[in-house]
Amino acid sequence: MSNVTGETLSKEASSSRKRSSQQVYVAAFGGIGAAIYYLLLWLPGVPVPGIPQITMEIGAIFTPLLGIILGPYIGATAVLIGNILKSLYPFNIVSLVFVPCAPLSAFTAAMLIRKRWVGTFIILAAILIAGMYTPPFYPLTGFDSKLGMAHWHVYLLAYYDKIAALVLLPIAVYMLGSPSVFRKRVGLFLVMFIGREMDKALGCLLFSLPMVYEGVFGLKDLSVVRGLYVVPALFSPAEYVVEALVAFLVAIPVIKSLLKVPGISESLYVKNVREQEIL
């Protein structure tokens, strides 16, 4: 009896040590992820081919990938820390306002990889609904004589690609669960795209708050605010598609490489990619 008890205690102690070492391992990689993301934020934007009016933010492009590697909470935290540090030195009030946006992108991608799409669907739907009741768009039946547009037209131009992302959420999960390799790859691309759209959706909502567009940007004329939603409507979705494609093309070799490394492939969240048979 004493031998059995001793063996049981020994196994429990070994298991406890293994869990502790894994937690330290994951925390360490979380710190590395935050540092890498912080460095990426300092890189200059890359012009979108054929659309010189807009540039891609290198750091923001890879937030979904960080979520997939580190998980919804550690990945989002790493991105959050990187954003805060970048906003505080040198101090940038505009960047500080939009600090929560990129972490939501990492959280979304990590959840979708595990095919947990309902929560992210609710979050995005809540953002879209909340946006309707902010001053630039409320009431939707209103009319902006300076722009010559109804408020609901402005709302659609601001959020139509985010609405598309909402529709694509269950489709992405379905593709990830398909036995077809091609469909799985399409699903992974959609995860990257939806992750970026979640970032932008929250950014659009935050900008539509008076404390932001008036308090931070000094914009008192709502027609000007609405115009800032209308102007990039034709270009922004193209940017998000290109960003998602870049993240997708980088993600495949990075994830495959990480899954070959002992320890990483067993401890980090990226193991779900293998367990879900996505790559």
Mean pLDDT of 17-26: 58
User: What's the pTM value of the predicted model, to 2 decimals?
Assistant: 0.87
Look at residues 110, 72, 93, 229 and name the one whose alpha carbon lies nearest to residue 160. Answer: 229
Does residue 78 surpass a pLDDT of 60? yes
Give the domain extent around 189: 2-275
Residue 33 CA to residue 215 CA, distance in Å, equals 33
Tokens of 120: 């992210």
pLDDT (tens digit per residue) in 117-148: 999 999 999 999 999 999 999 999 999 999 99
Query: DSSP class of residue 43?
Result: S
Which three-class secondary structure string do you get for 121-188? HHHHHHHHHHHHCCCCCCCCCCEECCCCEEHHHHHHHHHHHHHHHHHHHHHHHHHHCCCCHHHHHHHH
Q: How confident is the model at residue 243 (pLDDT cuts 50, 70, 90)?
A: confident
Does residue 155 surpass a pLDDT of 50? yes
Residue 78 CA to residue 67 CA, distance in Å, equals 9
Burial 52-72 (b: 16+ CB within 10 A, else e): eeeebbbbbbbbbbbbbbbbb
pLDDT (tens digit per residue) in 28-70: 777 777 888 888 787 766 655 544 545 567 778 889 999 999 9
pLDDT over 70 for what percent of the chain?
A: 85
Per the structure, how many domains does the chain have?
1
Residue 268 CA to residue 23 CA, distance in Å, equals 9
Burial of 195 (0-12, 13-18, 19+ CB in 10 A): buried
